[in-house]
Chain A
Amino acid sequence: AQSVTQLGSHVSVSEGALVLLRCNYSSSVPPYLFWYVQYPNQGLQLLLKYTSAATLVKGINGFEAEFKKSETSFHLTKPSAHMSDAAEYFCAVSGPGGFKTIFGAGTRLFVKA
């Protein structure tokens, strides 16, 4: 069975500071990992996905994530937070065929001026 754990339901950073959102996964097969972002009153949008071609994955809006198999982690980072980054972020894992994608509980990012 697959599962995802996001550490911290809320993260607050100052504008310009490093953003780090943590995600650990559990999967009995090679995982397909994703990060999505949700802005208020909208559906989720894909930020980035792990494709096994490279352990460091770059996404939209300056975000990136590093796949660490030994730590079963896929943490999301951004060097410098912007006010527009305030949103909820979801880590997700899916199995072969992409079916039954499982989501973490989400981390709400607050960015202070």
Chain B
Amino acid sequence: IAGITQAPTSQILAAGRRMTLRCTQDMRHNAMYWYRQDLGLGLRLIHYSNTAGTTGKGEVPDGYSVSRANTDDFPLTLASAVPSQTSVYFCASSEGTNNSPLHFGNGTRLTVT
């Protein structure tokens, strides 16, 4: 079944450690996104990529980095995790055209202690 695969599904991480959240899509979508979901705040965009080789900053990019070496993969890295990065992280993709909807993975629940 076509879609987005995120890994891991959950992780407990000590503060200061480095962590990469993985995201792979098989729909050949141009655009990919990382959001974090926090209670009462909805989803906030961390980083996005319009096409392979390009990335951009969203609303809350500090402490995170991304890369887009190819169309399918869009990993999110926390260089040195802090407790405020405890959240549920969602990867999404879209065709990148006007009014094209987002397709979401099932999320990664990250707890930073």
Contacts and interface: CB of A to CB of B under 8 A. Distances in A.
Task: Say if A and B assemble together.
Answer: yes
Contacts of A92: 102
B48 A100 contact: yes
Contacts, number: 69
A63 B45 CA distance: 26
B98 A101 contact: no
The dominant DSSP class at the A interface is mixed
30 contacts: A34-B101, A36-B102, A41-B107, A43-B104, A43-B106, A44-B90, A44-B102, A46-B101, A49-B99, A51-B99, A90-B43, A94-B99, A97-B50, A97-B96, A98-B95, A98-B96, A98-B98, A99-B31, A99-B48, A100-B45, A100-B48, A101-B33, A101-B45, A101-B94, A101-B102, A103-B35, A103-B44, A105-B40, A105-B41, A105-B42
Interface residues of B, number: 30
B63 interface: no
Interface of B: 4, 31, 33, 35, 40-45, 48, 50, 56, 58, 90, 92, 94-107
A34 to B, nearest CB: 6
Given A43-B107, A44-B104, A99-B31, A106 B42 contact: yes
The 10 closest A-B pairs by CB, nearest first: A43-B104, A32-B99, A105-B42, A103-B43, A46-B101, A103-B42, A98-B100, A44-B104, A106-B42, A43-B106
Among A44, A49, A102, A104, the one with the most B-chain Cβ atoms within 10 Å of its Cβ is A44
Given A36-B102, A44-B90, 8 more contacts: A34-B101, A43-B105, A43-B106, A51-B99, A98-B99, A99-B56, A99-B96, A105-B42
A9 B45 contact: no
B3 to A, nearest CB: 9
A94 B95 CA distance: 13
